Amino acid sequence: MIKHDPNCIFCKIVDGKIPSRKVYEDAQILAFHDISPWAPVHFLMIPKIHVPSMAQIEDEHAPLLGRMMALAPRLALQAGCLPYPDGGFRMVVNTGSHGGQEVHHLHLHVIGGPKPWLRGAIPPTAAGGAEV
């Protein structure tokens, strides 16, 4: 599997060729605000290597996915999700056409903040500032 796809939007974000509002970054993982949030908090967590979707996941990726899952709750709180159990958040990984995946670089949506959530109804400024 290729580790980088020059035509992939999220690989370009990893490279800094497309700007993003970063939530978190380390050697393996990048998190950034979704350009089109549908809740007050909506960011994406991606591996820096190009993995198209969950359909390509192998055992070797388990530590990376584990780190993403383990990191998500802390980033969610830092991004403005309210504490469990009255608050909380949703974690979604769309996979393939039937799974509603539009960008084919594996990403974990982390979605939260006070309800109601309504896809497309939250202007970027309400989600924490100007989006790129």
Q: Does residue 107 have an active-site annotation?
A: yes
Which does residue 103 touch among ligand 5GP, Zn ion, none (CB within 5 to 8 A, set by kind)?
ligand 5GP
Q: Which residues contact 94 (CB under 8 A, 6 or more apart)?
A: 100, 101, 102, 109
Which does residue 8 touch among ligand 5GP, Zn ion, none (CB within 5 to 8 A, set by kind)?
Zn ion
Q: Using the rule CB under 5 A, which residue among 33, 42, 48, 105 binds Zn ion?
A: 105
Name the nearest CA neighbour of 72 among 54, 89, 87, 57: 89
Q: Does residue 39 bind ligand 5GP (CB under 6 A)?
A: no
Two structure tokens written together for 37? 């949030």
Hey, which residues between 62 and 101 contact ligand 5GP (CB under 6 A)? 94, 100-101
Report whether 100 contacts 38 (CB < 8 A).
no
User: For residues 93 and 49, what is the distance between their CA atoms, to the nearest angstrom?
Assistant: 16
Q: Using the rule CB under 5 A, which residue among 50, 107, 109, 127 binds Zn ion?
A: 50
Q: Beta strand 22-25 with 29-33: parallel, antiparallel or unpaired?
A: antiparallel
Which does residue 77 touch among ligand 5GP, Zn ion, none (CB within 5 to 8 A, set by kind)?
none
Q: Using the rule CB under 6 A, which residue among 4, 6, 28, 36 binds ligand 5GP?
A: 36
Which does residue 11 touch among ligand 5GP, Zn ion, none (CB within 5 to 8 A, set by kind)?
Zn ion
Q: Using the rule CB under 6 A, which residue among 8, 9, 71, 91 binds ligand 5GP?
A: 9
Q: Beta strand 89-92 with 108-112: parallel, antiparallel or unpaired?
A: antiparallel
Cis link prior to 85 (omega < 30° from 0)? yes
The catalytic residues are 107
